[in-house]
């Protein structure tokens, strides 16, 4: 089968190319899915550069979310799928390819109202947002929440989940007024702050009368560490999911808020979790399907590329200008 590979094992986007590799065979409980579309995620950029700890069970091929058609089933599949079913799902890796082997418990039936592009952009995004809010961040109705990188796919999902979950206030940060307007006017966030032109932590404290926010979801890392401590409310939780600005803290960081405000700082990931943990989140995602259908939850696809333009797709993600998912299709 054809799949995306990386010249010399790692490198810039220009190192990506399509080549032939062996087609996977299903292990017990797995399906082989013929992929129609796959979603790009920031972890793909890190993995491409050799900066992501890939789980031992993952193939070297990039990609964790996809949509497609069940081609065959291995022994022991008990999740009600059959050959020919249209599905979407989450895998440990291997989605940048014509076929993927994946546990049937990580698949969902694709609703008819979702096209292949939309379905491919759902699993990683919505599962990560759910995990960050509820399993890690201990979000409850009435709490306030801050989503950094507000126009990123995970935060777009998170804002919608926060709204339906009864958040008292939903704040975001973003790098342009266009993105802030999108988060506030389109998604329903309470307010947004431009990290390029404003001191976002000071502005959030002003907006909350100095109280701060109960849950902070951060993908940025080092550059936001102090600001996150400053804006976290008493007994607040900071959920650390990524380190786009690095992991080494600058001199002068004041950690006194940990004790003074009893802050909980939790780092987490999804891809390294076992199948049972991921499967429970998949089950939660399944409960969202009616809300995707009635329009309560919206899926935002920013750009779609044929997978032959995988270099351009990765370069587009690196620009940090998208408002929603970047998807590649396989014809």
pLDDT tens-place string over residues 20-30? 999 999 999 99
Is the pLDDT at 78 greater than 90, yes or no? no
Show Cβ contacts of residue 328 under 8 Å, excluding neighbours closer than 6 positions. Answer: 37, 38, 40, 96, 304, 305, 306, 307, 309, 310, 313
Residue 106 is predicted with a pLDDT of 97
The architecture in CATH of the region 126-267 reads 3-Layer(aba) Sandwich (3.40)
User: Does residue 302 contact residue 325 with C-beta atoms inside 8 Å?
Assistant: yes
Question: Given this model, what pLDDT does residue 131 score?
Answer: 97
First to last CA, the chain: 13
Assess whether pLDDT exceeds 90 at residue 1. Answer: yes
Q: Return the H-helix or E-strand segment holding 156.
A: helix 153-164
Q: What span, in angstroms and rounded, lies between the C-alpha atoms of 293 and 286?
A: 12
pLDDT averaged over the chain?
A: 97
Q: What is the pLDDT of residue 31?
A: 98
For 70, 176, 196, 231, 297, the CA distances from 215, given in Å and listed in that order, are 39, 23, 22, 10, 21
Cα angle 320, 39, 318; round to 5: 20
Residue 162 CB burial class (10 angstroms; 0-12, 13-18, ≥19):
buried
Residue 79, pLDDT > 90, answer no
Listed by start position, the domains of the chain span 2-122+271-329, 126-267
Q: Which CATH topology does 2-122+271-329 take? A: Quinone Oxidoreductase; Chain A, domain 1 (3.90.180)
For residues 313 and 259, give the distance between their C-alpha atoms in angstroms, rounded to a whole number: 44
Q: What is the pLDDT of residues 45-58, one digit of tens each?
A: 999 999 998 999 99
Q: Render 241-269 in DSSP notation, one character per residue.
A: ---TT-SPPPTT---THHHHTT-EEEE--
Tens-place pLDDT, residues 104-162: 999 999 999 999 999 999 999 999 999 999 999 999 999 999 999 999 999 999 999 99
Q: Do 2-122+271-329 and 126-267 show the same overall fold?
A: no
Determine what percent of the chain is predicted with pLDDT higher than 90: 98
């Amino acid at each position: 089968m054809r799949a995306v590979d990386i010249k010399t094992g790692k490198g810039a986007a220009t190192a990506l190319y399509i080549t032939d590799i062996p087609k996977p065979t299903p292990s017990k409980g797995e399906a082989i899915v013929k992929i129609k579309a796959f979603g790009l995620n920031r972890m793909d950029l890190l993995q491409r550069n050799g900066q992501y700890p890939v789980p031992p069970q993952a193939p070297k091929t990039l990609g964790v979310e996809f949509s497609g058609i069940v081609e065959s089933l291995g022994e022991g599949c008990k999740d009600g799928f059959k050959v020919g079913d249209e599905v979407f799902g989450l895998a440990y890796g291997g989605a940048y390819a014509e076929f993927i082997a994946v546990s049937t418990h990580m698949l969902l039936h694709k609703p008819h109202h979702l096209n292949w592009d939309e379905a491919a952009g759902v699993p990683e995004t919505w599962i990560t947002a759910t995990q960050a809010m509820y399993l890690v961040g201990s979000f409850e109705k009435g709490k306030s929440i801050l989503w950094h990188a507000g126009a990123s796919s995970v935060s777009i999902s998170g804002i919608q989940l926060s709204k339906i979950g009864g958040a008292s206030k939903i704040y975001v940060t973003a790098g342009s007024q266009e993105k802030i307007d999108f988060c506030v006017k389109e998604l329903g966030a309470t307010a947004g702050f431009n990290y390029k032109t404003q001191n976002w932590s000071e502005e959030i404290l002003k907006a909350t009368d100095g109280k701060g926010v109960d849950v902070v979801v951060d993908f940025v890392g080092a550059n936001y560490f102090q600001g996150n401590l400053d804006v976290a409310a008493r007994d607040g939780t900071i959920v650390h999911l990524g380190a786009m600005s690095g992991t080494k803290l600058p001199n002068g960081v004041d950690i006194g808020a940990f004790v003074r405000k009893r802050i909980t700082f939790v780092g987490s990931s999804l891809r390294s979790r076992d199948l049972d943990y991921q499967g429970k989140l998949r089950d939660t995602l399944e409960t969202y399907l009616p809300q995707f259908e009635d329009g309560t939850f919206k899926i935002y696809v920013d750009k779609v590329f044929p997978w032959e333009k995988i270099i351009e797709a990765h370069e587009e993600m690196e620009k940090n200008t998208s408002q929603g998912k970047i998807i590649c299709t396989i014809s």
